A and B are shown apart, each in its own frame.
Chain A
Amino acid sequence: MVIYSFYIFDRHTECIYSKTWLPPPSAATTSQHDIPTNNSTSGAGSANSTDPHHNPMRSARSAVSAANKASDDAKLIFGTVFSLRNMVRKLGGEDDAFISYRTAQYKLHYYETASNLRFVMLTDTGTLSMRNVMHQIYINLWCEYVVKNPLSPVEHKGGAGVRNELFELGLNQFITGLIAR
């Protein structure tokens, strides 16, 4: 089983938590790009002197664009899930619930609590229903470490109160346990 990423959206449609278990794509591509240029331009001194000057700028820019892309992705995911949920409820009745969709490359799982808290998980296509997994995350991690935390605010604006040590640790342990299985 492969789990790509996990998102939590609150009832104000804001992404209050997101985590990916993918290697950062920008770092991988730049490192692959660096190796051949260093090998091929070993004789040219000027090319070597400009390379270290150029790289930090590019990596800083790619970090900013990666952060932008992550927040754009979260918005796209929320829009998709919101439209599909409304479509499902229109067709299947008010008690119907959207569970998951699959494309040729990945599968998206959806779980919504009674308080309109939405959990979204992206996995590979072969994975079976992750509804119970997200229900467990809600009961054992969210309720225990976020709701019962007296320092945590009621509304998690910008993810405040969600990114606490116990929740992060518990989630990471739970997911790595699932992936290893």
Chain B
Amino acid sequence: MTVFSLVIINKAGGLIYNRTFHEGGLNKLSTNDYLVLAGTFHGVHAITARLNPVKSAPERPLSNTPGVPGGILTRPEPPSGLEVLESENFRLQCFNTLTGVKFLLFTDTTQTNVDVIIRRIYELYSDYVMKNPFYQLEMPIRCDMFDRKLLSHIREINNR
């Protein structure tokens, strides 16, 4: 049960945060490769949302029925993009916030409760990055408090 690394991608597909917690889990990449990876993933994520083979029910019948006042439409869930990716050596969980920021957490294949971990990281992000008055939106994250809190949170999980 190990968390390998965390990558945060902004809504334009740019890499804004990248930290490795466990050496030896994944290959070491150059900064340039990480930027390419973030951009690629951003594009693939958009495509995976479009590939949805399940057709949602048509909305027309509801608006035609006289019983419904004002023709209220039941909107189907918008298609979500990639959430979990599995390979032989690792597992990648992606959390897409409502504002379009993506949190990618790389763990080993046996790690459980990854969605809980990633939500906690999102909380830390909103507390220590978004509430930091010196942080500029869409820019790389350089916040000491966020680094420290994140590191202690992940260390706790990796030492369990």
Contacts and interface: CB of A to CB of B under 8 A. Distances in A.
Contacts of A158: none
Interface stretch (A54-62, A79-87, A136-144): A79-87
A108 B44 CA distance: 13
Given A103-B48, A105-B52, A90 B27 contact: yes
B48 A122 contact: no
Contacts, number: 102
Contacts of B84: 101-102
Nearest to A33: B60
Interface size class of chain B, counting residues whose CB lies under 8 Å from the partner chain: 35 or more
Contacts of B124: none
A36 B60 CA distance: 11
B47 interface: yes
Contact of A104 (B40, B50, B77, B90): B77
Contact of A88 (B29, B53, B87): B87
A77 B33 contact: no
Interface residues of A, number: 37
Given A32-B61, A92-B87, A80 B41 contact: no
Interface string A91-107: 11101111111111110
Contact of B88 (A76, A84, A96): A96
Interface in B66-92: 77, 79-90
B37 A90 contact: yes
A101 B82 contact: yes
Contact of A100 (B50, B79, B86): B86
Interface in B9-29: 26-27, 29
B51 interface: yes
B89 A76 contact: no
Given A92-B88, A92-B90, A32 B51 contact: no
Contacts of A105: 52-54, 79-80
Q: Which of A5, A84, A91, A101 has the most CB of B within 10 A?
A: A91
5 contacts: A87-B41, A92-B90, A101-B85, A103-B80, A104-B83
